[in-house]
Amino acid sequence: MNRHDPPLEVDPRQAFALASAGRPLLDLRSAAERMGGMARGALAVDDPADWAARTLPADGMLLLCALGQRSFRIASALRERGIAAQSVAGGMAAWVGLGLPLADEVQVGGGLARYARQICLPEVGAAGQARLARARVVLVGVGGLGAPAALYLAAAGVGRITLIDDDVVDRSNLQRQVLYSDSEVGLRKVDVATRRLRALNPGIDVIAIPQKLDAHNAPGLLAGHDVLVDGADNFPARFAVSDASRRLAIPMVYGAVERFSGQVAVFDPRHVDSPCYRCLFPEPPAPGEVPSCAEAGVLGVVPGMIGMLQACETLKLLLGIGAPLVGRLLLVDALAMHWRELVLARDVECPGCGSSGADRLRRTSPLDPGSG
């Protein structure tokens, strides 16, 4: 390297100033990542060496990738071949995090600007956002748990959200099912929810399935999704989600509430050590054994909390970050505001996942699955 060479890395703000003055800014990310939005003035280029050979940029060029690491390596390699190139430090994540301008079509559609506050997290970044855009999540039940989960998943940019629920909005739902308004009492929940989620984020697909999930239709309706969010209000549906999760090898994010308490866990059949829902509750309880939400009651904010925890676990699974609640049952007592966690091991005698496993969790009776 010549001592007169400019630094290999350039601050995104300086890169924007240089690009505005005519310096070529090349976006090296994948086509899928670029679809989420591009920096203003950036060109989509897969092979910068080939592009430079054809274009011969007088003052060199700026290279932009997702996090600034790949562009740094490429800029460095190009320098050694005598091609002037600088890497934009921190990549697209830093560009968005600093609020630098994006291509107009992106700003109109929401695009990266919409997700700026999470793209600037290194654990998410532009690559993670593109991953969310490609993700498909199904919510079984759009009630007390499904309503907050759906809102946050749509806001986060999950590309396709499928809603399965055969119910209509009842006035007694409104205390906790925050997707619905008083004027929508009597309308089908999936239709109202679809409108609401599309209004929140026009960039995602929402698919409404006004059916009751059961063991028969579950495999067909749940196949093709990346995560199953269990917000069912009845045991047959919940066991159908669990069995389909095992059969289709799709993780299930479980949540349940009653009165002032709730619980959350992730059952991920892709992990050999993960328990399944039947490790916790081997068979559905006899009718009447467990009080329903309507009988036991629930403070509206409790399904809100649990549904949001389910949304959080879902996003972590989709992004492949953090430690999911696999093999752990999180119990929330909102009255004491006491959170505790039980180790939930795979049950050797489980009718769902059987075979090998460790110690069995001794448990109390199941909570009403009622999302309400």
Q: Which residues bind Zn ion (CB under 5 A)?
A: 276, 278-279, 350, 352-353
Query: Whose Cβ is closer to Zn ion: residue 143's or residue 352's?
Result: 352
Nearest to 167 by CA among 183, 186, 150, 189: 189
Nearest to 195 by CA among 183, 208, 177: 208
Give the β-pairing of 85-88 and 9-10: parallel
Q: How far is the CB of 233 from Zn ion (least distance, A)?
A: 22
Query: Whose Cβ is closer to Zn ion: residue 18's or residue 252's?
Result: 252
Q: How far is the CB of 278 from Zn ion (least distance, A)?
A: 5
Q: How far is the CB of 228 from Zn ion (least distance, A)?
A: 15
Nearest to 176 by CA among 252, 232, 257, 237: 257
Burial 39-74 (b: 16+ CB within 10 A, else e): bbbbbebeebeebbeeeebeebbbbbbbbbebbbeb
Query: Whose Cβ is closer to Zn ion: residue 192's or residue 244's?
Result: 244
**Helix, strand, or coil here: 267?**
strand
d(CA 139, CA 73): 42
CA 126 vs. chain centroid, Å, equals: 14
Q: How far is the CB of 255 from Zn ion (least distance, A)?
A: 18
Tokens of 340: 């505790």
Query: Whose Cβ is closer to Zn ion: residue 95's or residue 277's?
Result: 277
Query: Whose Cβ is closer to Zn ion: residue 83's or residue 276's?
Result: 276
Q: How far is the CB of 149 from Zn ion (least distance, A)?
A: 23
**Helix, strand, or coil here: 316?**
helix
CA 128 vs. chain centroid, Å, equals: 10
The dihedral over CA atoms of 193, 194, 200, 203, expressed in degrees to the nearest 10, equals 160
Query: Whose Cβ is closer to Zn ion: residue 28's or residue 353's?
Result: 353
Q: How far is the CB of 268 from Zn ion (least distance, A)?
A: 12
What is the secondary structure of 71-83 as a DSSP string?
HHHHHHHHHHTT-
Query: Whose Cβ is closer to Zn ion: residue 72's or residue 267's?
Result: 267
d(CA 219, CA 163): 15
Q: How far is the CB of 358 from Zn ion (least distance, A)?
A: 12
Residues 6+ apart with CB under 8 A from 287: none
Q: How far is the CB of 354 from Zn ion (least distance, A)?
A: 7
Alpha helices in 210-300 (DSSP H): 218-222, 235-248, 277-280, 293-296
Query: Whose Cβ is closer to Zn ion: residue 293's or residue 353's?
Result: 353
Query: Whose Cβ is closer to Zn ion: residue 309's or residue 344's?
Result: 344
Q: How far is the CB of 357 from Zn ion (least distance, A)?
A: 8
